[in-house]
Amino acid sequence: MAKRLPGSARTREALNALFDGRLRVDNAKSDLVKLATRLIIEEGLEAEVRDALGRDYYEHGAPAGGGHRNGSCGGRLKTAEGRIDYTVPQVAGTAEPFRSELRAHLKPFGGP
């Protein structure tokens, strides 16, 4: 994917592909639950970053020391449907280290 998109945008594209029948899956119901859960998590994490920085994705105009987005990393969630991988936006350059309250409540995947 050439264009830089937030994780939620990629997940939304996968959901649309599932609905349109362009995404081949073994269990459509399970994958729908996983993708919907992933979208909710990613949108929540992105909203936390937006609120912390005071601006949206790719919006310019940060004051000095106001912080900036610094890529993303992956997170994993253990559910009854199986492992759900999600994208976590990273923040750098803030006066205080950014800690996601939402992510603190997500139980990580602990198995193989």
Looking at the structure of the chain, the number of domains it has is 1
Domain that holds residue 35: 7-104
The confidence score (pLDDT) of residue 110 equals 55
Residue with tokens 């592909």: 17
Write the pLDDT tens digit of every residue in 37-78. Answer: 999 999 999 999 999 888 887 767 666 667 888 889 999 999
The whole-model pTM stands at 0.84
Residue with tokens 């492992």: 83
Does the CA dihedral 76-9-73-51 come out positive or negative?
A: negative
DSSP 6-47: -HHHHHHHHHHHHHHT-S--S-HHHHHHHHHHHHHHHHHHHH
The confidence score (pLDDT) of residue 1 equals 44
